[in-house]
């Protein structure tokens, strides 16, 4: 019986323990359920987002960049598709071994390796970097057969930028190159970061830079479902990219060719404008560079060559190099005098061959002077004395005000970046320019050299062409522009760039016409006559010479001065005189007299533009005009 | 014909229908989920699991026909064999994935720790049954020794999951046998005090698992990855789930071990809180039925055995779901009747067979 009780007791205890265990089971399961409730109800949205971002990856599709064509439809920049061999460093087993292995299959030169190394330094480890571009079909096939040996290496079909005309108009067109950290900042500042996902190239110079956001297009994307290994499983949605806009230029490729060829091996720049609307017909900076070199990352030796070349081929001389305009300044001075009522056209001076101011004697370029000189003659024979007096009578403030109204000393706002402002001298400018008190004061003597385009004067070739165009246009100022229309390739819609004048300078037509006639005289019987001998059209021009360094009283003889220290040669011109269709400014570095070096270039450009006549070779140097034996001056030795 | 009918009726008589129904439903859930988790690989895994289930069911039926007295006879030999084999593993075992768990017998590889999952409750239930009338504290001490001896070997392999299951199986027998609360709390306190020492004995990867559990984001691509991804799967499943075969976490391979230890994440993503609730309910029915069988069992041996088997089933389910949902460290414990794999299923069904045997042979004992 005791046993039975014992058993009963045991059974009771057992059952109570089973109950306790059962309660524990329910409690812990309730805990689990609470956890599930927390995850699946309270935190459901959070985890849904996490699951979605786990699985969905946005793959950007880079749009086709817009093409650039000249006014006649000649292609200057386009895209073509080619195969590249690319390495994602993070996915390779060993970078050096991979490249060595690849070199056995496709040709990889030392310069390819160098470029790869440079790109590697600029990019992140998981980016795909080209080791070879433009693979041949055979190379693609050979790699495909060996692909398994090279994890992290892929052949990709990519669009490349191509500039079919090579160096032609390179400074105007610019180039694209790989996006660097500074570009990323710029993109961010402009709020385009999202649109550049996946983009690897960006316009660096010229139109490619200025119109970057027009040319780029809108990036499309694919929503791709990816698995845990990052492999795309399927495409969920596809938003196609919108190709970038095409640019049609005002530039005339043929004219550009003629202008570039006219320079030959000389350094310098030329800007040709249509004076009626500011359209740029040609923009030369010689020597030029080949923009194609930059597209897939410039090779080290090419870069070295471009950077260390003493001729500075990367420099856009037409818009960035500012020089004293020399005598090309004189027609503008004459117009200023007429406009401000300081001279009439018939007022004449007796030129003794010098102009005395205080203790200084400013020399004319002709010993003994030009005799009686009125305004017409002052331009045709380029008389310094006339302008020494004129400048002194006008005063620097009047000169600066007038020249400033024509656009000198400020950016023309042409649609390529990197323009220099130049220097429009004035007492205010001097005060800003110099820090020391004693340097800030403006001396009346300085005004006198400004009057003949020397002294502190410094303008770009573009500014000189622009100022003359503004005069020829009777004061209507157009912004110079290279792009004529921007075309949306998908809709065909075209936007024309700025046909309206930006401001009007108050000029009297009869004053302008007088200046035009006087400049026509230059090409007929003055300093430009030799270069324009026998031209079947009537043109106007003005030569100029800008000194590179002061000889301090010695006589300037071109042959005795080192080539790089020789004077710069200027020529501004327009044609035909009645209804000017083209205006040019030419600057030949160290070209000597403007009449000798720069004027013949303008002649070739006009001959082609007005007559369709192609020159036989670079513009010849013509002899300096007889009336121009160069006299050493204190402030400007070479005036013609 | 009649004989076959009678034979069939006799077999059926030893099956517990409620238990069988719950298990079959769980198995169907298992098959559906395994198919979803391995659909990219075709039907291969599903076919294998069907075979596993057939074999396991067969073993369950066979065991259910065996009276508990006969089962009791296996207790000591099975325990000793298991112990010898564990020593064998320690000496000659094969290392797989950094753990020495397997023993090669020439023609077949076996995992002796698996035997202990059954041998341990059998052995302890037999032991307490033997000393039922004279049960003293001494016996509890000896029982603890019987329990700890193989566990030391299993921990050494190292195999945290199996140690836990074998330990739980043994502990539940001792607990149900009436281990005084005082001692239990005392031992619990002692265990708590010993925790720092135990921490020192853990392997690096085991410590990492525990640390990762406390803060999975500390190692999102390493040890924390499993937990983070499975929690995302569960959470994104929401109240009603994404639907069968629609789980993105599963089908895009974000969930590791998705048809074995982490299958619950797959189930949970596709069936949601609703599915989880149903699953918990099924386990509660299973465990409830098991505890009822234990409470109604006629002998101490069968009571203890039934109770222990049932509560170990609970440990399986709780530890697995707890680790997948991120409230317990990751230990290698499958979700019973649902995870893919033959070995664990056979062991489980052996246990279920014993439950059925205990229940259907109780009248015979009374007679």
Q: At what angle do helices B68-92 and B300-324 cross, to 10 degrees?
A: 50
A117 CB contacts (<8 Å, ≥6 apart)? none
State whether B307 and A229 contact (CB < 8 Å): no
Judge whether residue A1 has pLDDT over 50: no
pLDDT at A499: 63
Q: Is residue A169 classed as helix, strand or coil in its secondary structure? A: coil
Q: Establish if A402 belongs to a structural domain.
A: yes
Backbone angles phi, psi at A304, to 5 degrees: -60, -45
Burial of A595 per CB tally in 10 Å (0-12, 13-18, 19+): buried
Which comes out higher in pLDDT, residue B339 or A619?
B339
Two tokens, residue A307: 């950077």
Range of the domain at B80: 11-361
**Using CB atoms, which residue from B253, B311, B322 is nearest to A32?**
B322
CB atoms within 10 A of CB B58: 13
The pLDDT tens digits of the residues spanning A451-472 come to 999 989 999 999 999 999 999 9
Place of tokens 């000597």: A592
State whether A54 and B248 contact (CB < 8 Å): yes
The pLDDT tens digits of the residues spanning B171-209 come to 999 999 988 889 889 888 988 888 888 788 777 777 777
Judge whether residue A626 has pLDDT over 60: no
Structure letter (DSSP) for residue A624: P
Give me the total of CB pairs closer than 8 Å, taking one residue from chain A and one from chain B: 126
Q: Does A68 lie in the same domain as A147? A: no
How far does A18 lie from chain B, in Å, by closest CA? 7
Rounded Cα distance, B122 and A463, in Å: 104
Say which CATH number the domain at A196 has. Answer: 3.90.1310.10
Q: Establish if B228 belongs to a structural domain.
A: yes
Give me the mean pLDDT over the B1-6 stretch. Answer: 87
Q: Establish if A301 belongs to a structural domain.
A: no
Q: Is residue A543 classed as helix, strand or coil in its secondary structure? A: strand
Rounded Cα distance, B334 and B319, in Å: 9
**Using CB atoms, which residue from B277, B311, B322 is nearest to A21?**
B311
Q: Establish if B367 belongs to a structural domain.
A: no
Domain boundary among A125, A158, A191: A158
The whole-angstrom distance between residue B51's C-alpha and the CA centroid of its chain comes to: 20
Concatenated DSSP letters of A401-445: HHHHHTTTTS----SSS-----B---HHHHHHH--SHHHHPPPHH
Judge whether residue B285 has pLDDT over 90: yes
pLDDT at B292: 95
The pLDDT tens digits of the residues spanning A413-439 come to 999 999 999 999 999 999 988 888 888
Q: Is A58 an 8 Å CB contact of chain B?
A: no
How far does A241 lie from chain B, in Å, by closest CA? 28
Domain boundary among A248, A265, A300: A248
Which comes out higher in pLDDT, residue B263 or A116?
B263
The pLDDT tens digits of the residues spanning A379-400 come to 999 999 999 999 999 999 999 9
Question: A128, A199, A327, A426: which is the annotated catalytic residue?
Answer: A327
pLDDT at A468: 96
Judge whether residue A99 has pLDDT over 50: yes
Task: Give B216's pLDDT tier (boundaries 50, 70, 90).
Answer: low
Terminal Cα distance for chain B, rounded: 30
Judge whether residue A248 has pLDDT over 80: yes
Rounded Cα distance, B338 and B287, in Å: 16
Chain A residues 215-254 within an 8 A CB cutoff of chain B: 225-229, 233
Structure letter (DSSP) for residue A93: S
Rounded Cα distance, A250 and A68, in Å: 11
Q: Does A354 lie in the same domain as A224? A: no
Two tokens, residue A208: 């490619």
Q: Does A532 lie in the same domain as A464? A: yes
The pLDDT tens digits of the residues spanning A501-516 come to 888 999 999 999 999 9
pLDDT at A636: 41
A62 CB contacts (<8 Å, ≥6 apart)? A159, A198, A199, A200, A219, A241
Rounded Cα distance, A601 and A268, in Å: 11
Two tokens, residue B121: 């409750």
Largest CA distance in chain A: 158
| H helix runs in A133-268, sequence order | 137-146, 170-173, 181-189, 206-210, 212-216, 253-263
| H helix runs in A38-85, sequence order | 44-55
Cβ pair A449, A355 in contact under 8 A = no
Judge whether residue A628 has pLDDT over 70: no
Q: Establish if B149 belongs to a structural domain.
A: yes
Q: Is residue B231 classed as helix, strand or coil in its secondary structure? A: helix
Q: What CA–CA distances, in Å, run from B275 to A34, A37, A79, A307, B345?
A: 14, 12, 56, 71, 22
Q: Establish if A19 belongs to a structural domain.
A: no
User: pTM here?
Assistant: 0.68
Q: Is residue A67 classed as helix, strand or coil in its secondary structure? A: coil
Two tokens, residue A148: 């398994």
pLDDT at A2: 41
Q: Establish if B72 belongs to a structural domain.
A: yes
Return the residue of A nearest to B238 by Cα.
A40
Give me the mean pLDDT over the B150-173 stretch. Answer: 90
Task: Give A560's pLDDT tier (boundaries 50, 70, 90).
Answer: low
Q: Is B250 an 8 Å CB contact of chain A?
A: no
pLDDT at A5: 54
- Which residues in chain B have Cβ-Cβ distances shorter than 8 Å to A33? 276-277, 280
The pLDDT tens digits of the residues spanning A488-502 come to 998 888 888 866 788
Q: Establish if A476 belongs to a structural domain.
A: yes
How many Cα atoms within 13 Å fall on the side-chain side of residue A34?
Answer: 7
A123 catalytic, yes or no? no
Q: Is residue B192 classed as helix, strand or coil in its secondary structure? A: helix
Q: Does A118 lie in the same domain as A53? A: no
- Which residues in chain B have Cβ-Cβ distances shorter than 8 Å to A40? 234-235, 237-239, 268, 272-273, 276
State whether B252 and A54 contact (CB < 8 Å): yes
Q: Does A568 lie in the same domain as A473? A: yes
Q: Establish if B1 belongs to a structural domain.
A: no
CB atoms within 10 A of CB A261: 19
Cβ pair B132, B81 in contact under 8 A = no
Q: Does A205 lie in the same domain as A66? A: yes
Judge whether residue A578 has pLDDT over 80: yes
> Mean pLDDT lowest for which of A412-426, A571-585, B227-241, B352-366?
B352-366
Q: Establish if A459 belongs to a structural domain.
A: yes
**H/E stretch holding A504:** strand A503-504
Place of tokens 């859930």: B29
Q: Beta strands A503-504 and A540-546: pairing type?
A: unpaired
The pLDDT tens digits of the residues spanning A600-615 come to 999 999 999 999 888 8
Mean confidence (pLDDT) of chain A: 87
Q: Does A202 lie in the same domain as A137? A: no
CB atoms within 10 A of CB A195: 18
Cβ-count burial A466-479 (b if 16+ within 10 Å, e if not)? bbbbbbbbbbbbbb
The whole-angstrom distance between residue A263's C-alpha and the CA centroid of its chain comes to: 20
Rounded Cα distance, A317 and A598, in Å: 15
- Which residues in chain A have Cβ-Cβ distances shorter than 8 Å to B301? none
Q: Does A400 lie in the same domain as A501? A: yes
Q: Establish if A297 belongs to a structural domain.
A: no
Q: Is residue A56 classed as helix, strand or coil in its secondary structure? A: strand
Give me the mean pLDDT over the A569-593 stretch. Answer: 92
Rounded Cα distance, A454 and A329, in Å: 9
Chain B residues 131-170 within an 8 A CB cutoff of chain A: 132-133
Closest CA to A469 of A535, A516, A525: A516
Q: Does A419 lie in the same domain as A434? A: yes
> Which of B140, B235, B253, B335 is the best substitution to test chain A (most A C-beta atoms within 10 A)?
B235
Q: What CA–CA distances, in Å, run from A477 to A330, A404, A504?
A: 20, 12, 6
Range of the domain at A244: 47-74+165-248
Q: What CA–CA distances, in Å, run from B353 to B62, B127, B346?
A: 7, 21, 10
Q: What CA–CA distances, in Å, run from A50 to A338, A625, B222, B235, B254?
A: 77, 83, 18, 9, 12
How far does B212 lie from chain A, in Å, by closest CA? 18
Q: Establish if B210 belongs to a structural domain.
A: yes
Q: Does A444 lie in the same domain as A412? A: yes
Q: Establish if A427 belongs to a structural domain.
A: yes
Count the domains in chain A.
3
**H/E stretch holding B251:** helix B248-251
Count the domains in chain B.
1
- Which residues in chain B have Cβ-Cβ distances shorter than 8 Å to A15? 295
Structure letter (DSSP) for residue A220: E
Judge whether residue A409 has pLDDT over 90: yes
Q: Does A408 lie in the same domain as A479? A: yes
**Using CB atoms, which residue from B280, B311, B325 is nearest to A39?**
B325
CB atoms within 10 A of CB A218: 13
- Which residues in chain B have Cβ-Cβ distances shorter than 8 Å to A53? none
Q: ipTM of this predicted complex? A: 0.94
Mean confidence (pLDDT) of chain B: 89
pLDDT at B27: 96
Domain boundary among A158, A185, A204: A158
Give all strands (DSSP E) within A71-187, no chain letters.
75-87, 129-132, 153-162, 175-178
Query: Is cis: bond before A576, omega within 30 of 0?
Result: yes
The pLDDT tens digits of the residues spanning B321-360 come to 999 999 888 888 999 999 998 889 999 999 999 999 999 9
Q: Does A62 lie in the same domain as A90? A: no
Cβ pair A579, A570 in contact under 8 A = no
Terminal Cα distance for chain A, rounded: 145
Q: Establish if A626 belongs to a structural domain.
A: no
């Amino acid at each position: 019986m005791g046993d039975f009780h014992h058993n009963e007791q045991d059974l009771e205890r057992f059952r109570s323990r089973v109950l306790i265990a059962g309660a524990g089971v329910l409690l812990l399961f309730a805990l689990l359920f609470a956890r599930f409730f927390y995850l699946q109800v309270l935190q459901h949205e959070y985890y849904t987002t996490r699951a979605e971002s786990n699985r969905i990856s946005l793959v950007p599709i880079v749009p086709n960049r817009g093409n650039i064509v000249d006014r006649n439809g000649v292609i200057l920049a386009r895209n073509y598709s080619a195969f590249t061999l690319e390495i994602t460093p993070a996915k390779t087993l060993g970078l050096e071994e991979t490249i060595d292995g690849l070199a056995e299959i496709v040709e990889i030169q030392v310069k390819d390796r160098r470029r790869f190394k440079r790109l590697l330094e600029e990019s992140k480890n998981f980016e795909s970097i080209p080791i070879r571009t433009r693979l041949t079909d055979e190379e693609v096939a050979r790699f495909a057969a060996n692909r398994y040996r090279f994890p992290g290496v892929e052949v990709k079909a990519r669009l490349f930028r191509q500039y079919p005309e090579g160096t032609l108009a390179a400074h105007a067109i610019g180039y694209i190159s790989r996006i660097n950290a500074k570009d990323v900042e710029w993109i961010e500042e402009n709020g385009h970061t999202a649109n550049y996902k996946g983009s690897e190239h960006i316009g660096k110079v010229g139109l490619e830079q200025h119109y970057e956001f027009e040319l780029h297009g809108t990036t499309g994307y694919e929503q791709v479902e990816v698995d845990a290994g990052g492999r795309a499983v399927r495409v969920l949605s596809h938003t196609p990219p919108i190709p970038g806009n095409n640019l049609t230029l005002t530039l005339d490729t043929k004219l550009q060719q003629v202008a570039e060829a006219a320079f030959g091996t000389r350094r310098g720049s030329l800007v040709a404008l249509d004076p009626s609307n500011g359209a740029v017909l040609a923009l030369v900076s010689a020597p030029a560079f080949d923009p194609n070199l930059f597209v897939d990352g410039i090779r080290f030796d090419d870069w070295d060559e471009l950077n260390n070349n003493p001729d500075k081929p990367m420099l856009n001389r037409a818009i960035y190099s500012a020089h004293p305009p020399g005598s090309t300044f004189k027609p503008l001075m004459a117009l200023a005098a007429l406009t401000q009522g300081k001279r009439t056209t018939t007022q004449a001076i007796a030129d003794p061959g010098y102009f005395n101011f205080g203790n200084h004697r400013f020399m004319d370029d002709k010993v003994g002077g030009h005799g009686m000189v009125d305004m017409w003659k002052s331009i045709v024979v380029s008389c310094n004395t006339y302008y020494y007096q004129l400048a002194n009578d006008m005063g620097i403030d009047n000169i600066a005000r007038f020249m400033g109204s024509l656009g000198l000393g400020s950016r023309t706002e042409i649609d390529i970046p990197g323009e220099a402002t130049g220097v429009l001298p004035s007492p205010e400018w001097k005060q800003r320019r110099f820090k020391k008190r004693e340097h800030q004061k403006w001396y009346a003597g300085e005004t006198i050299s400004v009057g003949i385009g020397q002294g502190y004067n410094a303008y770009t070739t573009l500014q000189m062409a622009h100022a003359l165009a503004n005069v020829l246009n009777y004061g209507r100022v157009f912004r110079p522009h290279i792009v004529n229309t921007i075309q949306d390739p998908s809709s065909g819609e075209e936007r024309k760039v700025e046909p309206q004048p930006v401001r009007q300078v108050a000029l009297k037509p009869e004053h302008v016409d007088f200046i035009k006639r006087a400049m026509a005289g230059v090409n007929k019987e003055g300093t430009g006559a030799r270069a324009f001998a026998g031209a079947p059209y009537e043109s106007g021009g003005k030569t100029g010479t800008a000194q590179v360094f002061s000889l301090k009283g010695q006589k300037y003889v071109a042959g005795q001065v080192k080539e790089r220290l020789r004077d710069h040669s200027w020529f501004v011109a327009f044609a035909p005189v009645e209804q000017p269709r083209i205006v040019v400014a030419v600057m030949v570095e160290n070209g000597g007299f403007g009449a000798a070096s720069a004027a013949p270039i303008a002649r070739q450009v006009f001959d082609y533009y007005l007559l369709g006549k192609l020159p036989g070779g670079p513009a010849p140097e013509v002899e300096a005009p007889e009336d121009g034996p160069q006299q050493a001056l204190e402030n400007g030795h070479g005036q013609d | 014909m009649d004989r076959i009918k009678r034979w069939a009726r006799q077999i059926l008589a030893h099956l517990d229908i409620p238990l069988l129904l719950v298990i079959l439903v769980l198995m169907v859930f298992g098959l559906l989920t395994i198919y979803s988790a391995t659909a990219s690989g075709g039907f291969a895994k599903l076919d294998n699991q069907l075979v596993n289930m057939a074999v396991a069911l067969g073993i369950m039926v066979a065991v259910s026909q065996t009276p508990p007295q006969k089962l009791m006879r296996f207790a000591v030999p099975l325990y000793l064999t298991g112990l010898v084999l564990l020593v064998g593993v320690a000496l000659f075992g094969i290392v797989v994935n950094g753990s020495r768990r397997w023993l090669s017998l020439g023609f077949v590889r076996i995992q002796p720790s698996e035997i202990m999952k059954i041998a341990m409750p059998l052995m302890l239930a037999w032991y307490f049954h033997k000393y039922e009338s004279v049960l003293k504290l001494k016996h509890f001490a000896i029982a603890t020794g019987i329990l700890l001896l193989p566990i030391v070997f299993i921990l050494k392999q190292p195999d945290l999951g199996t140690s836990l299951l074998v330990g739980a199986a043994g502990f539940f027998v001792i607990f149900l046998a009436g281990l005084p609360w005082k001692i239990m709390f005392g031992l619990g306190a002692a265990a708590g005090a010993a925790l720092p020492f135990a921490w020192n004995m853990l392997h690096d990867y085991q410590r990492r698992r525990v640390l990762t559990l406390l803060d999975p984001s500390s190692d999102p691509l390493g040890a924390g990855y499993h937990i983070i991804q499975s929690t995302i799967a569960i959470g994104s499943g929401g109240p009603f789930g994404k639907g069968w075969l629609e789980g993105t976490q599963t089908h895009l391979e974000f969930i590791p071990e998705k048809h074995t230890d982490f299958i619950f994440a797959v189930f949970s993503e596709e069936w949601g809180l609703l599915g989880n609730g149903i699953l918990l309910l099924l386990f509660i029915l299973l465990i409830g039925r098991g505890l009822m069988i234990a409470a109604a069992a006629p002998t101490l041996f069968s009571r203890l055995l039934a109770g222990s088997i049932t509560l170990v089933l609970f440990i399986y389910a709780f530890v697995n779901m707890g680790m997948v949902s991120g409230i317990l460290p990751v230990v290698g414990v499958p979700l019973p009747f649902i995870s893919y794999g033959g070995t664990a299923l056979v062991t489980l069904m052996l246990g279920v067979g014993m439950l059925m045997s205990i229940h259907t042979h109780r009248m015979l004992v009374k007679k």
